[in-house]
Amino acid sequence: MPVPFILFGRDHIIVLAATFVLPLLLALIARLSRSAATDRIVRMVFAAWLIATWLVWFWLIFERGWQSAQTLLPMHLCDWACIAVIVTMLMRSQRTYELAYFWALAGTLQGLITPDLAIGFPDLRFLVFFAFHGGVIAGVLYLTFGSRMRPYAGSIPRFIAATMIYAVSAAAVDFLFKVNFAYLRAKPAQASVLDYLAPWPWYIGELVGIGLVSIFVFYTPWFIADRLRASRASAQ
């Protein structure tokens, strides 16, 4: 008998804590070592972790006969965030980093806090879900604090353009295959922040507004840091 997932239960809290603590510890080790080799090794491990998690997920799909357009097509926003994280880990690309940063913090983080998940630990669905989503968030945290990457003001219009491409692509796939990527056709079956929004389709407009606010919220620390740095420089 599968164990039901409990929102903010013991297992959920442990996963959330590990998602934030482990990458920050790795970032501290990388920075104290002052070694490009150490940073590269950590990035390769993160990339391997995310790729392996994706492979296990596809094995689970075929092993349990869950094949469908909804499960096989990589059209969740978290899928695109994961791809951006993997590419950044392998190539240390600024362009993919800024996509990973905003998609992970504005999108994947919400999925990690209020997951669309009915089954709890130790079911493989629980393990794969949190290994994947937690790995995306942990990867972005490590890239930011360990590899010392960051978004810039110019990142915002590029990110908005990329997100518009994603939204149009997801809408097209939803229409063609009658699926529900990006929750454009219905709210999640499990409890989520969308439950507090208007009914379909009006909540889609609210999501756009929340997304725009999230972009500026997650860029604000960098904006403040830049202004303080500029202020100190002018004072000197």
Sign, CA torsion 43/85/5/114:
positive
Residue 4's beta-bridge partner residues?
A: 119
pLDDT at 15 over 80: yes
- Cα(first)–Cα(last) distance of the chain, in Å? 67
pLDDT for residue 95: 96
Q: How many angstroms separate the CA atoms of 86 and 55, rounded?
A: 14
All structural domains of the chain with their residue ranges:
10-235
Which two three-digit tokens encode residue 3? 């164990």
Work out the mean pLDDT of the chain and round it to a whole number: 93
Q: How many CB atoms within 10 Å of residue 224?
A: 10
Which two three-digit tokens encode residue 171? 């809408």
pLDDT for residue 24: 97
pLDDT for residue 39: 96
pLDDT at 230 over 80: yes
pLDDT tens by residue, 54-101: 999 999 999 999 999 999 999 999 999 999 999 999 999 999 999 999
Model pTM above 0.75 = yes
Q: How many angstroms separate the CA atoms of 100 and 110, rounded?
A: 14
Angle at 186 between CA 70 and CA 69, to 5 degrees: 10
Answer for the pair 142, 23: CB distance below 8 angstroms, yes or no: yes
Q: How many CB atoms within 10 Å of residue 79?
A: 18
